[in-house]
Amino acid sequence: MLVMAAKLAAEPAYTRLPVDERRRLLLDAGAKLFAQHSYEEISMRQIAQAAGVSKPLLYHYFPSKNDLFLAAVTEAASELQGLIQPAAGGTPVEQLTASLDAYLGWIEDNGRTWAKLMQSAAVLPEAHQLVEGFRVGTMELVLAELTGKRKPRPALRTAIRGWLGYMDAAILDWTQARDLPREELRDLLLAAFVGALLAAQQVDPKIKLNLG
């Protein structure tokens, strides 16, 4: 009797959600945790628990931890992509200024997320490639107007890659020390960019640049 009553009154053993909704829930839970801690610090068990769900269900929607992380990073990256997309007109330097402003503004609002993302991307090759491809794509837009469409010479390519590293390191320093106004950092990055281009030209005089 009691058993029957209990069974009739019992709540469902679990709630079954539409696929899209469940997937969103899990992706959001993962993104939130990955934004606050690095990749290795978070376990699939924790993510599932945060979403109020069992671990195999998480694996049902994302076949591996790597996949889940990549899905979260991809989403954040495309959000950023929209902000950074350089406007059509203006000189290359103006375009770069606008993109840097948008980029730094986003980082000012999401400092911890940015730091953890960079840290994690250093280890996971796919995530690294994703971030790198996203940047290279942006850089190519700028470079196309700076150097024409010819394939860049090695020294120029290395200098550009170097400047991207400069940007990461300087931004990291900026988020940690917080003693530099955003505009000043932006100008520093811009000046360093021009400096990097001139340094490349100095090393390899065959490099042609039409700076605005």
Taken in order 182, 188, 192, 193, the sign of the CA dihedral is positive
The residue length of the chain stands at 212
Burial of 93 (0-12, 13-18, 19+ CB in 10 A): middle
| Nearer residue to a copy of itself within complex by CB, 53 or 121 | 121
| Nearer residue to DNA within complex by CB, 15 or 205 | 15
- What does the block give as tokens for 169? 């390191």
Site string for a copy of itself, 26-55 (x = CB under 8 A): ------------x-x---------------
| Nearer residue to a copy of itself within complex by CB, 85 or 201 | 201
List the single partner that 19 binds among a copy of itself, DNA, none, CB under 5 to 8 Å by kind: DNA
Binding of residue 59 to DNA (CB under 7 A): yes
Which segment (22-30, 84-92, 108-116, 153-161) binds a copy of itself by CB under 8 A? 153-161
Give the C-alpha separation, 96 to 212, whole Å: 12
Give the C-alpha separation, 72 to 173, whole Å: 25
Return residues touching DNA (CB under 7 A): 12-17, 19, 22, 42-46, 53-57, 59-60, 63-66
